[in-house]
Amino acid sequence: MINIISKRLENGVMCYVLPKKGYKEKLAMVAFRYGSRDINFKKDGRDIAQPYGIAHFLEHKMFEDESINFFDSFTKLGIDTNAYTNFTTTAYYFRGCDNFDKGLSLLFKMVNSLYITDENIKKEKGIIEQEIKMYEDDPYWEMHFNTLKGLYKNDPCRESIAGSVESVEKITENMLKESYEGFYTGENCVLIAVGDIESKTVFEKAEKELDLNKGNVERACYNNEEAKPKNISVKKSVDRPLYNIGFRQNTKYPAEERTCVGNIIMNMLTAKSSELREELVRRRLADSAFGFENVVGNDFGASIIKGEGEGYRAVADKITDETQKYMTYGINSEYVRRLADMEKAKMIFESQDIYSFASFAADCFSKNIEMLDIYNYYDKIDVDIILKHMTEYSRDNMALSVVSGEGA
Amino acid sequence: MKKTDIKEGVALYTEETEKFDTSDFCILLELPLKRERATSNALVSKILMKGCNKYITEREIAVRLEEIRTIMECSIMKKGEEHIIQLYFSTLPEFAEEAFELAGNILFEPIFNNIDEAKRDLRADIEGLLNNKRRYAVEKCIENMCAYEDFGVSGDGYIEDIDSVDIKEAYEYAMDNSHVVVMSVGKINSSTVEEYVRTYLPFAERNNRPYGNSYLSSPEGVKEIEEKMDISQGKLAMGIRLNIDPKGSDWYKALVANELFGGSANSELFMEAREKESLCYYISSKLLRFKSIMIIEAGIEDKNKEKVEEIVENAFDNINDKDIETAKTAIVNSFNAAEDKAEMIMDYSLGQIILDGPQDISEGIDEIKKVRSIEGIFDSCVLDTVYMLRS
């Protein structure tokens, strides 16, 4: 049902095309295996340590060139453009109904070179400072990073993607050049195109026009033999306590396995079809705000349960009791099958949207996962695999992150 | 979309297409937005999925949804001065009938066994607005701006009304007094959907076609409202009365003008406030069509409020016909792109139903293409309300 055409180009770039017959809009994304976590690396034999937020800063700066503003050029073609940075990926994309080929050329031109000056760096710092402050006013954002801070003492996933006002202030022209040269390479690059598109033309064009650096830097590995997780609480103006209950994943299991199994386990604990949720709702410990997020990277990962209300300690107890119960009494295999089939259906729902598909594909590339492996993994999943992972959902691996109102 | 009248007051809109692997449906109960019914309508949207005759708990419904690979949500929407209860579901084509059957059971045979939970959910929604400061600022701006109009009524309802709502009465009122629209987009043919609607959705005939939005307003002076909260960045929201008929061809001019004004990353507001002055990360304007209102929002330092207001004022003078073709293309694109998403196709259709306009997106596209100039389009607009959430 999800019919992807893929090819690795001579220049090292990996290409995926998802043909969508009859769609009017087309989307192309160029993404790099470079995210907010990649601040320590080795380049040309030198150890380099950079400030938090640099990948995101670089993303902002790629839109400028000596003579043109790329936003402007895309707009003139009638094309919408944007970019994002997360822990492991920086992605640039455009979407539009016409001028797809011209858009592709422009996208390639944009990532092919970096243009920075002291002046445009200074201007960007002002903008990013406001972006950081916007996140600071989002209690869910802060709570999310506090969960990761609680779970990880060393790993840079504990820091906000945009960095802090202080760390961004430290960013210099030279650092941006270093990270551009080190990470924006063919090997680190994926091209994804979605829409009513011929894959052949996309591949040919990318082969000819994408001109990236060669090689690869050596990324630091963070020692995730981490300390016992910590709970973190902060005060903000919120209407009632907001909380995350995060479990550190065991990275000895591969990322695609943690993605699929994590989703199933989280559904067993939080979905409306779960017995635990029904009980928590009946006891007034959960309501419509109760849910989960599964954050998966190659060498880090967290399964996060989200909720609102005073009873977060009781909820945390019930969650760990429930995983204990499953490990003691077992799990019905039909239940696992039903949840796995539903997850597959969700993947089909999501692949109807050109942007959802592209960002999912970019994310998989950064983690060295083949997209369809995830889809197919759901067919393999069984009770034993679920139980094997469930041991990680214990008190020892758990961190609470709470945001509560003043005086609460 | 193709319209079929199922019976008086119950209409079906369908779009058959092979381009999606899924089938999407929605059932809409259109009601007038009124202060006295706001909370009870919102509560109906919270109770329906808590249990029905065949699947008596929220969990049983959820299990059934997993069995038939369907996502289903019940929500409340505010569209202009209409209040709409929506049951939306998305499924794989082979499960369409089962999904309809379940939707019918949920809508026609609720058992009201978890009223407290529904009320708690609604309370959480209303109070949760405080956790999203951006949305909070915009909602407060509209609430103050339209304090004496139905549009100023909150679509989520009011805390103080929750306890006194008789949920069965609220349900019956919504079922009896709404105009009903059912929509279908995807791999399923219209006659099949019609059969499902007739079989599983036994709506009675009705004659409730609403209501109409009033869009003209000339406020006396600007309402300046400020609130203080413990936040890092001030949130500014400005409400402007456009006084442009949302049904006329001028509306399309306004869309083009807004694109140049604050609707894109190349707009006056974005270029001036962000790119030139580094005053903000986000600043944008959007049009609320049914009420002919423009909302501008920005996250800024408190001290920069006057500077930003000045940029806004100047932007009205600075937009001109120079980049009009680019703006038109961008809007045509977004109209076209809407056809690639089932949800957007339905949303466009609903907007046209509310305005009594043509269903076909291509007619909207033609209107945009016809725009030759935006000169003078904002001449009759008036600044109504400036809301600032200070840090």
Query: What stretches of A226-331 adopt beta strand conformation (E)?
Result: 232-235, 242-248, 291-296, 301-308
Contact by Cβ (8 Å): A145, A158:
yes
Q: Residues of B with CB below 8 A from A338's CB?
A: 63, 66-67
Q: Which residues of chain B have pLDDT under 70?
A: 210-211
Q: Residues of B with CB below 8 A from A124's CB?
A: 278
Query: HSE-up of A126 (CA within 13 Å, CB side)?
Result: 15
* Residue B209 within any structural domain of the chain: no
pLDDT of A80 strictly over 50? yes
- Whether A139 and B329 lie within 8 Å, measured CB to CB: no
- B191 and B296 housed in the same domain: no
B336 lies within 8 A of chain A by CB: yes
Residue B6 to residue B194: CA distance in whole angstroms:
8
- B185 and B235 housed in the same domain: no
- Whether A289 and B131 lie within 8 Å, measured CB to CB: no
pLDDT of A101 strictly over 90? yes
Residues B145, B151, B156, B157: is their CA dihedral positive or negative? Answer: positive
What CATH number did the domain enclosing B334 receive? Answer: 3.30.830.10
| Nearest residue on chain A to B328, alpha-carbon basis | A78
- B158 and B47 housed in the same domain: yes
- Whether A239 and B337 lie within 8 Å, measured CB to CB: no
- B46 and B108 housed in the same domain: yes
In terms of Cα–Cα distance, which of A130, A136, A187, A99 is closest to B270?
A: A130
Question: Residue B66 is nearest to which of A98, A133, A338, comparing CB atoms?
Answer: A338
B125 lies within 8 A of chain A by CB: yes
List the domain range (segments joined by +) for residue B352: 223-390
Question: Residue A127 is nearest to which of B46, B71, B274, comparing CB atoms?
Answer: B274
- B171 and B314 housed in the same domain: no
A62 pLDDT tier (thresholds 50, 70, 90): very high
In terms of Cα–Cα distance, which of B102, B119, B201, B209 is closest to B162?
A: B119
A164 min Cα distance to partner chain B (Å): 13
Same fold, A5-219 and A232-404: yes
A237 lies within 8 A of chain B by CB: yes
A252 min Cα distance to partner chain B (Å): 31
- B282 and B185 housed in the same domain: no
Encode pLDDT of A211-258 as tens digits.
999 888 899 877 666 689 999 999 998 989 999 999 999 999 999 999
Residue B73 to residue B24: CA distance in whole angstroms:
12
Residue A219 to residue A40: CA distance in whole angstroms:
6
- B331 and B261 housed in the same domain: yes
Distance between start and end Cα atoms, chain B: 47
Question: Residue A288 is nearest to which of B124, B279, B282, comparing CB atoms?
Answer: B124
Q: Residues of B with CB below 8 A from A134's CB?
A: 134, 233, 281-282, 299
Q: How far is CA B192 from CA B184, B196, B201, B360, in A?
A: 11, 6, 13, 22
A135 min Cα distance to partner chain B (Å): 9
Residue A107 to residue A77: CA distance in whole angstroms:
12
* Residue B95 within any structural domain of the chain: yes
A218 min Cα distance to partner chain B (Å): 33
The residues pairing with B72 across neighbouring beta strands, listed in sequence order, are: B89
Contact by Cβ (8 Å): B43, B120:
no
- B95 and B229 housed in the same domain: no
| Nearest residue on chain A to B46, alpha-carbon basis | A288
- B175 and B106 housed in the same domain: yes
**What residue spans define the domains of chain A?**
5-219, 232-404
Q: Residues of A with CB below 8 A from B71's CB?
A: 346, 349
* Residue B208 within any structural domain of the chain: no
Higher pLDDT, A195 or A222: A195
* Angle subtended at Cα A351 by Cα B90 and Cα A33, rounded to the nearest 5 degrees: 145
**A191 — phi, psi (to 5°)?**
-115, 130
From the number of C-beta atoms within 10 Å of its C-beta (0-12, 13-18, 19+), residue B372 rates as exposed
* Residue B214 within any structural domain of the chain: no
Radius of gyration for chain B, computed over Cα atoms and rounded to the nearest angstrom: 22
| Nearest residue on chain B to A128, alpha-carbon basis | B281
Among B residues 39-58, those touching chain A with beta carbons less than 8 Å apart: 46, 57-58
Encode burial over B340-357: b for 16+ CB neighbours within 10 A, e otherwise.
bbbbbbbbbbbbbbbbeb
- Helix (H), strand (E) at residue B159: helix B159-162
Q: To the nearest 10°, the Cα dihedral for B196, B201, B207, B213?
A: -90
A348 lies within 8 A of chain B by CB: yes
Residue B103 to residue B49: CA distance in whole angstroms:
9
Domain total in chain B = 2
CB pairs under 8 A between A and B: 160
Q: Residues of B with CB below 8 A from A194's CB?
A: none
| Nearest residue on chain B to A354, alpha-carbon basis | B340
B130 lies within 8 A of chain A by CB: yes
Task: Name the CATH code of domain A232-404 (choices 3.30.830.10, 1.10.3720.10, 3.40.1180.10, 2.130.10.10).
Answer: 3.30.830.10
* Residue B206 within any structural domain of the chain: no
Q: Residues of B with CB below 8 A from A82's CB?
A: 265
From the number of C-beta atoms within 10 Å of its C-beta (0-12, 13-18, 19+), residue B186 rates as buried
Question: Residue B266 is nearest to which of A25, A75, A272, comparing CB atoms?
Answer: A75
Q: Quick one: pLDDT at residue A407?
A: 43
* Residue B215 within any structural domain of the chain: no
Q: Quick one: pLDDT at residue A20?
A: 96
A353 lies within 8 A of chain B by CB: yes
Last residue of a domain, one of B168, B200, B232: B200
At position A369, the amino acid (one-letter code) is I
Does the pTM exceed 0.80?
A: yes
What's the rounded mean pLDDT across residues A322-332? 97
- Say how many C-beta atoms besides its own lie within 10 A of residue B193's C-beta: 24
At position B202, the amino acid (one-letter code) is P
DSSP 8-state code for residue A196: S
**A302 — phi, psi (to 5°)?**
-145, 135
Q: Quick one: pLDDT at residue A76?
A: 87
Residue A198 to residue B155: CA distance in whole angstroms:
45
- B94 and B179 housed in the same domain: yes
Residue A281 to residue A272: CA distance in whole angstroms:
10
Among A residues 296-315, those touching chain B with beta carbons less than 8 Å apart: 308
* Residue B245 within any structural domain of the chain: yes
Question: Residue B233 is nearest to which of A134, A140, A281, comparing CB atoms?
Answer: A134
Query: What stretches of chain B adopt beta strand conformation (E)?
Result: 2-7, 10-16, 23-32, 70-79, 82-91, 179-186, 223-228, 234-241, 283-288, 293-300, 382-390
pLDDT of A406 strictly over 80? no
A349 lies within 8 A of chain B by CB: yes
Residue B230 to residue A48: CA distance in whole angstroms:
38
- B194 and B273 housed in the same domain: no
- Whether A130 and B281 lie within 8 Å, measured CB to CB: yes
Residue B389 to residue B386: CA distance in whole angstroms:
10
A123 lies within 8 A of chain B by CB: yes
The answer regarding whether domain A5-219 maps to CATH 3.30.830.10 reads yes
A72 pLDDT tier (thresholds 50, 70, 90): confident
**Three-state secondary structure call for residue B288:** strand
At position B179, the amino acid (one-letter code) is H
From the number of C-beta atoms within 10 Å of its C-beta (0-12, 13-18, 19+), residue B43 rates as buried
- Helix (H), strand (E) at residue A26: strand A26-32
* Residue B77 within any structural domain of the chain: yes
- Whether A123 and B22 lie within 8 Å, measured CB to CB: no
Encode pLDDT of B273-329 as tens digits.
998 999 999 999 999 999 999 999 999 999 999 999 999 999 999 999 999 999 999
Contact by Cβ (8 Å): A21, A195:
no
**Mean pLDDT of all residues in chain A?**
94
Encode pLDDT of A370-384 as tens digits.
888 999 999 999 999
A266 min Cα distance to partner chain B (Å): 15
Q: Quick one: pLDDT at residue A1?
A: 61
- B171 and B257 housed in the same domain: no
Q: Residues of B with CB below 8 A from A273's CB?
A: 59, 62-63, 65-66
| Nearest residue on chain B to A238, alpha-carbon basis | B131
Here the tokens at position B57 are 């708990």
Encode burial over B89-123: b for 16+ CB neighbours within 10 A, e otherwise.
bbbbeebbbbbbbbbbbbbeebeeebbebbbbbbb
ipTM associated with this complex: 0.94
Encode pLDDT of A121-179 as tens digits.
998 999 999 999 999 999 999 999 999 999 998 899 999 999 999 999 999 999 999 99
